[in-house]
Structure 1
Amino acid sequence: MTERICHIESGKIANPQEIRKLFSELQDGIYLVRVATRKPRSPLQNEYYWGVVCDMVREGLYDTGYREVKTKADAHQIMKMLFLKKKKYNHKTGKVKEYIGSTANLSTVEFNTYIEEIIQWAVEYLNIQIPLPNEIL
């Protein structure tokens, strides 16, 4: 089974190229299409992200020479830029616009994936080990 997140903004599909690609990859047949709202991230995920992840990344970036990264919000913006960069294609002109996604729009599963990517990146580039939620005392 294949699943995709479909973002609806002002009554229109905000990520039509992803949805078109999904359907173009299907073989001929009859398919069930289910529409369900996704679960937003939990308050515990939010607390862990801001209290542990953002704080440790802020400290790691500062320690590696990024002296302008002084707050958790600064670290948050950098992480969004690294891991939530998206593209919009203009099919008439062929131009591509890049933008930064929002963590507020991530589902529970998407937010977990986002945090996992940050943890792996932090080990590799900042030489820090961010504890998992179940490892925090």
Structure 2
Amino acid sequence: MCPITACAPLRPESLEIVPGIDARSPDVGFGGWKCGWRSTTSDTWVDLRFDRDQPPSAGDDGTPARFNDYPAFVEAEGDGEETCLVQVVYRSYTDDRGRIAVEKVRLAVGGSRPTDRLCQMARGLAGPATARLRAG
């Protein structure tokens, strides 16, 4: 993917849109391909993960969007109940079977808040995260 860890695209100041988030204590996943943050004041959380998969599509994977010229899809409850998932296509490649596949960023926000508020926060984080991808 890109030469950064999954924690790098979201700086502490970007995470401030999530109430009570502990931006300075991320939970880093295997190989740096996943990073998560939790709120200290509620059950709200943010997870950012790099992934490889088939290209997402409108309808199946949510509503099309764009963040810093990257195609994306926003899906309420796309990562389970009480979540909002933004999938950003970073780049395409041909897999070992000759099919088109993509490297993508999966950015999920969850917690016991209205889904539209979770999606507002996820969209608000997708902008700074994709800007850092371009710079990274």
**TM (normalized to structure 1)?**
0.26
More strand, by proportion: 2
Higher relative contact order (CA 8 A, sep 6+): 2
Q: Return the index of the structure with the highest Cα Rg.
A: 1
Which has a greater percent of helix? 1
